[in-house]
């Protein structure tokens, strides 16, 4: 008689209200971050609609000055492409590659990390030592080396960055899962005869999600900066595809003439990094606050 109408609507409204309440308490920096990230996301998704010119389209002479009344808002680059349009397309490429690489690294890192924490023994040993070995080399130099071996290209770039970053995600998820694995409710699930899948997805991952979500923000920043650095060095995203790192590199000589062109792309990188960090800071503060309440 009573179970016919489960009370999930009430619970869902409760969660919605909780999110709204959290947002109303969010500090200015978090709001700033959310707005900036929303603008970037909008540019990345709707790039072809917003950009006045094509990504690789040569629309004028080289190094034309920009301005509100000029044909090109931010001027043109060395071969006459519209810098403003390329900035917008750059959002799509750079953020897209970074996002895909980070997501793949989290899939691999969490899966291997949680399984290692759950099973310990040889699997944990082998995986941890592999991670140690990969972590021992500076990420950027290691990535440069691997790109030199396997060749440049979008796919290679994503796979290499994802694998390198997965080692860091592995360490974190393994450490976090280790604290959960020893809990009585995991033992209770084992005693109940639950399979590994249930224990991983229903018992462990929901309990380590908070640190992982914050880590996702941070790792995204690092991957994003690494891609920009690699592109600056010429082994990242390849021309004519627009990318902020290579845009800085292509126009870097202009800085000696007091021209701000290379700083536009650099500014775009800085702004996004700062915004993501602000957001992550706030999320970290919130999750640690929740832990205190318990």
Binding site for another protein (CB under 8 A): 2-4, 6-8, 10-11, 21, 183-185, 187-188, 190-194, 202-203, 206-207, 293-294
Whose Cβ is closer to another protein: residue 120's or residue 202's? Answer: 202
Residue 28 or 191: which CB sits closer to another protein?
Answer: 191
Rounded to a whole number of angstroms, the minimum distance from the CB of residue 5 to another protein is: 10
Of the pair 3, 136, the CB lying nearest another protein is at 3
CA–CA distance from 1 to each of 4, 5, 11, 72 (Å)?
6, 9, 20, 70
CB nearer another protein, residue 15 or residue 129: 15
Cα angle 104, 226, 137 (rounded to 5 degrees) comes to 85
Q: Which of 176, 162, 160, 165 is nearest to 116 (CA)?
A: 176
Nearer to another protein, 21 or 69 (CB): 21
Beta carbon of residue 244, minimum distance to another protein (angstroms, whole number): 39
CB 211 within 8 A of CB 176: yes
Say how far apart CA 166 and CA 278 lie, in whole Å: 23
Compute the distance between CA of residue 116 and CA of residue 125 in angstroms, rounded to an integer: 8
Give dist(CA 31, CA 17) in Å, integer: 18
Tell me the closest approach of the beta carbon of residue 184 to another protein, in angstroms. Answer: 4
CB of 210 to another protein, least distance (A): 10
Closest contact distance (angstroms) between CB of 19 and another protein is 14
User: Toward another protein, which CB reaches closer, 129 or 202?
Assistant: 202
Q: CA–CA separation, 116 vs 105, rounded Å?
A: 16
Query: What is the DSSP code (8-state) at residue 259?
Result: -
Beta carbon nearer to another protein, 69 or 192: 192
Q: Please state, in angstroms and rounded to a whole number, the distance separating the CA atoms of residues 292 and 294.
A: 5
Q: How far is the CB of 181 from another protein (least distance, A)?
A: 12
Radius of gyration of the chain (CA): 23
Write phi, then psi, for 17 (nearest 5 degrees).
-65, -35
| CA dist., res. 183 & res. 263, Å (int) | 51
Q: How far is the CB of 2 from another protein (least distance, A)?
A: 5
């Amino acid at each position: 008689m009573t179970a016919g109408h489960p009370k999930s609507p009430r619970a869902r409204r409760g969660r919605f209200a909780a999110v709204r309440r959290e947002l109303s308490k969010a500090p200015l920096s978090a709001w700033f971050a959310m707005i900036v990230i929303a603008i970037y996301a909008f540019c990345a998704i709707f790039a072809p609609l917003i950009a006045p010119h094509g990504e690789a389209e040569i629309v004028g002479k080289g190094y034309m000055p920009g301005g509100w009344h000029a044909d090109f808002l931010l001027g043109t680059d060395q071969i006459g492409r519209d810098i403003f349009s390329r900035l917008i397309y750059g959002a799509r490429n750079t953020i897209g590659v970074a996002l895909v690489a980070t997501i793949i690294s989290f899939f691999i890192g969490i899966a291997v990390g949680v399984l290692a924490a759950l099973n310990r023994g040889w699997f944990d040993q082998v995986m941890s030592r592999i991670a140690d070995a990969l972590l021992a080399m500076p990420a950027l130099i290691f990535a440069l080396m691997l790109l030199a071996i396997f060749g440049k290209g979008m796919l290679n770039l994503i796979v290499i960055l994802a694998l390198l970053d997965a080692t860091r995600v592995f360490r974190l998820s393994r450490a976090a899962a280790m604290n959960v694995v020893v809990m009585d409710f995991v033992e209770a699930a084992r005693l109940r005869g639950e399979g590994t899948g249930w224990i991983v997805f229903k018992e462990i991952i929901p309990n380590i999600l908070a640190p992982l979500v914050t880590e996702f923000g941070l790792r995204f920043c690092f991957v994003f900066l690494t891609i920009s650095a690699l592109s600056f060095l010429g082994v990242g995203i390849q021309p004519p595809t627009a990318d902020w790192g290579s845009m800085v590199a292509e126009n870097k000589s202009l800085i000696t003439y007091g021209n701000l062109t290379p700083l536009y792309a650099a500014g775009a990188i800085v702004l996004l990094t700062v915004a993501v960090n602000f957001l992550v800071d706030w999320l970290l503060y919130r999750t640690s606050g929740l832990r205190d309440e318990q």
